[in-house]
């Protein structure tokens, strides 16, 4: 791909050399999909096939495992249930977990907002998870750890800090939030509740918390250390990492977070061979979901000794030109995902690759640098 100035169909300010750098920043991947949105225009850049052998060409609708980016969907589900009055931000988590669940206390109860801001005091993982999955550690360490195991582990967990006093990233905490939200909704499975309250209302056709794609859909095979990995399984903590999604759907979510009121968006899809394909996206979220979209991005706390803030799950990096850049990444044993958006600049970027994150695959950093450069470029 020859370096050149931004071509028609690309968001203003994105150079082809920047696009090439991002598409090439995931060595070992057979598939990379990038979605870009800027001021009413969306574009897609895709490269490769869904697998090294026997795959099909990647499309903007191709599904990838998004790992911890799943947490942003759980946060939006939390905000939606809050908007409808089903739960409250400061509800004790124990209120919505199964009767008899022992939730540790240290000075104060763990609330739902503590879980959604990584301030619950819970450790990163439930006690016993890695020990139970030691044989699957290279590929699928969460696969045999069930919801029942998670709730049993909670009873023997010692909080690392008093809830609300310290940010400590916790898959355990956000996974527990997912279980609490399901409890508040009458015990619906996470994948069904998420689909009913968030995915279908937003018109997300490629996204689910199930392992397989919808009929007619395509999904990548993940790779780690050059080897294909089995589908990532996290039955005990689906709210922390079970979601699969596409560049198309994730860009739709980012646009909705930028403009909760909804707006028509038109643009072009750009494939790696620079062929152009026109597309259009329309839609306006319901009043309930608009409230949730606004709530999920409201800054909740400042991180000590940094210029960063934390919303419900979303990280916010403050900028000199005003409100910050929202961002989050995710990774499994076979895929890497990144989303960032700036409401002030009306800009968003999605980047997906079917290789595991690692020191030799600077995909997330390159994606962050790419969107940061965009924000510095006048539209």
Which pair of tokens denotes residue 238?
Answer: 């689906």
Which residues in 4-38 are b (16+ Cβ under 10 Å) and which e? eeeeebbbebbbbebbbbbbebbebbbbbbbbbbb
pLDDT in tens, the chain (379 residues): 223 333 344 444 566 678 888 888 999 999 999 999 998 889 999 999 999 999 999 999 999 999 999 999 999 999 999 999 999 999 999 999 999 999 999 999 999 999 999 999 999 999 988 776 555 556 678 888 999 999 999 999 999 999 999 999 999 999 999 999 999 999 999 999 999 999 999 999 999 999 999 999 999 999 998 899 999 999 999 999 999 999 999 999 999 999 987 644 444 444 443 322 333 444 567 889 999 999 999 999 998 888 899 999 999 998 777 678 999 999 999 999 999 999 999 999 999 999 999 876 799 999 999 999 888 876 5
pLDDT at 137: 55
Say what the pTM is: 0.91
C-beta separation of 291 from 312 below 8 A = no
Distant-in-sequence, close-in-space partners of 24: CB < 8 Å, separation ≥ 6: none
Separation CA 255–CA 284 (nearest Å):
11
pLDDT at 142: 87
Three-state secondary structure call for residue 25: coil
The DSSP H or E segment spanning 229 is strand 227-229
User: CB neighbours (10 Å) of residue 301?
Assistant: 15
Residue 136 is inside which H or E element, if any?
none
């Amino acid at each position: 791909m020859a370096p050149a100035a931004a071509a028609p169909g690309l968001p203003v300010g994105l150079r082809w050399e920047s696009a090439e750098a991002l598409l090439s920043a995931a060595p070992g991947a057979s598939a990379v999909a990038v979605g870009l949105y800027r001021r009413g225009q969306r574009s897609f850049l895709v490269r490769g096939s869904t697998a090294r052998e026997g795959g099909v060409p990647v499309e903007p609708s191709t599904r990838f495992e998004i790992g911890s980016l799943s947490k942003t969907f759980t946060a939006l589900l939390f905000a939606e249930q809050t908007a409808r009055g089903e739960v409250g931000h400061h509800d004790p988590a124990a209120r919505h977990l199964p009767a008899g669940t022992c939730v540790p206390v240290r000075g104060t109860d763990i609330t739902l907002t503590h879980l959604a801001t990584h301030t619950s005091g819970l450790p990163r993982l439930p006690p016993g998870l890695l020990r139970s999955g030691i044989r699957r550690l290279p590929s699928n360490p969460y696969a045999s750890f069930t919801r029942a195991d998670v709730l049993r582990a909670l009873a023997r967990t010692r909080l690392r800090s008093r809830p609300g006093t310290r940010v400590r990233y916790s898959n355990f905490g956000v996974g527990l939030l997912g279980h609490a939200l399901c409890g508040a909704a009458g015990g619906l499975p996470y994948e069904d509740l998420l689909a009913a309250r968030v995915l279908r209302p937003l018109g997300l056709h490629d996204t689910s918390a199930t392992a397989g794609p919808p009929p007619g859909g395509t999904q990548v095979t993940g790779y780690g250390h050059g080897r294909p990995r089995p589908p990532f399984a996290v039955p005990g903590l689906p709210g922390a990492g079970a979601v699969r999604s596409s560049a198309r759907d994730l860009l739709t979510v980012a646009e909705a977070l930028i403009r909760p009121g909804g707006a028509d968006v038109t643009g072009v899809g750009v494939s790696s061979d620079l062929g152009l394909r026109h597309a259009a996206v329309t839609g306006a979220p319901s009043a309930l979901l608009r409230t949730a979209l606004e709530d999920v991005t409201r800054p909740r706390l400042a991180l000590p000794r940094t210029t960063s803030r934390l919303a419900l799950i979303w990280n916010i990096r403050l900028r000199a030109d005003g409100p910050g850049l929202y961002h989050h990444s995710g990774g499994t044993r076979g895929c890497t995902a990144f989303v960032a958006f700036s409401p002030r600049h009306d800009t968003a970027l999605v980047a997906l690759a079917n290789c595991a994150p690692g020191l030799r695959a600077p995909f997330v950093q390159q994606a962050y640098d790419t969107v940061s450069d965009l924000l510095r470029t006048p539209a």
